[in-house]
Amino acid sequence: MRAQSSATESPRIAVGATSAENRGAAFGTVQAALGVVAFSLTFPATAWGLEGFGPWSLIAVRSILAAAIAGACLVGLRVAPPERRHWFGLAVVGAGVVLGFPLLTTLALQTSTTAHAAVVVGLLPLTTALLSALRVGTRPSRTFWIAALAGAAAVIAFTVQQSGGALTSADAYLFAALLVCAAGYTEGGRLARQMPGWQVIGWALVLCLPLTVPMAAVALSFEPVHLTAHSVTGLLWVAIGSQFLGLVVWYRGMAAIGIPKASQLQLAQPLLTLVWSVLLLGEHLPVAAPLTAAAVLVCIAVTQRARG
């Protein structure tokens, strides 16, 4: 009788474990999707913020505000400092997503439309997948590389065509932003498997305070500030929505479902940003913008399939 009971209980345990895994994956997918929605609003919010702040002031102040929220959470919950072995990874996250990507894209948006920037940064999931493969030592298939090169070619052709035959300084900023952000996403996704996702971005923000506080003091003394409803709303969103809450759910989602699957959800980000650029900023999209975004989406979908 005991043997019989044990035999019948084993399938139940297996089914229960599978159900728990499915629920965890579904919850992780929802969190990653919320992160994508938050990120899709970053460029329009940055454009609003630039109406009242200079680029350096906007970057520094948004980082300090986000760090203040993160620091309050870390202190309030009495979170112990991360282990020494995690500090390098946190520094990469800070350099990539706290300072590098916001600064480079903000500088680009001074002369570029949000629609143009969204198409170029549409390569971010592909770049993240590539750096992730290199970071963990896997070898992508030939199909992966063909699709990756096709997506890159589509974006380069778009940028050259939109820039009148040559890449502009804004394009250089955007391509550099791709690399630093992909490095931050990859390292953050790895760390989020070893500590809660909100602590990853929280400690990265706090780690950057010795740089962002003096930067804010200098920038605010040189760049004039004109507070408007748009500029304040834009600042608050990039600080709270994009810089902190968006990255919290994004890293948690990546930890739950993996970097490759999370990158699939990010396929929707450029198209969402194009929608926001029309609705919030009144931009007129060139026909090439949604077409190129769709082409990149297909290429990235192929790379994800090629990676299994």
CB 49 within 8 A of CB 238: yes
Under 8 Å CB-to-CB from 163, ≥6 apart: which residues? 171
Tokens of residue 106, six digits? 């903000």
**How much is the pLDDT for 122?**
77
Give the single-character DSSP code of 193.
T
The per-residue b/e assignment along 49-79, b for 16 or more CB within 10 angstroms, e otherwise, is bbebbbbbbbbbbbbbbbbebbeeebeeeee
CB 304 within 8 A of CB 129: yes
How many other β-carbons are positioned within 10 Å of the β-carbon of residue 111? 12
What is the rounded end-to-end Cα distance, in angstroms, of the chain? 44
Sign of CA dihedral 49, 187, 210, 32: positive
CA distance 195 to 70: 15
Sign of CA dihedral 222, 181, 277, 295: positive
Question: Alpha carbon 102 to chain centroid distance?
Answer: 10
CB 247 within 8 A of CB 188: yes
pTM of the model: 0.78
Give the three-class secondary structure for 249.
Answer: helix
Going residue by residue through the chain, which has 308 residues, state the pLDDT in tens, using 9 for 90 and above: 555 555 555 555 555 556 666 676 777 888 888 988 998 999 999 999 999 999 999 999 999 999 999 999 999 989 999 888 999 999 999 999 999 999 999 999 988 888 888 888 877 877 877 787 777 666 667 787 787 778 778 877 877 777 666 678 888 899 899 999 989 988 887 888 888 878 988 999 999 999 999 999 999 999 999 999 999 999 999 999 988 888 888 878 877 777 666 766 777 787 788 889 888 988 887 777 788 778 877 876 776 666 55
Tokens of residue 154, six digits? 């589509």
Tokens of residue 145, six digits? 């590389």
**How much is the pLDDT for 126?**
76
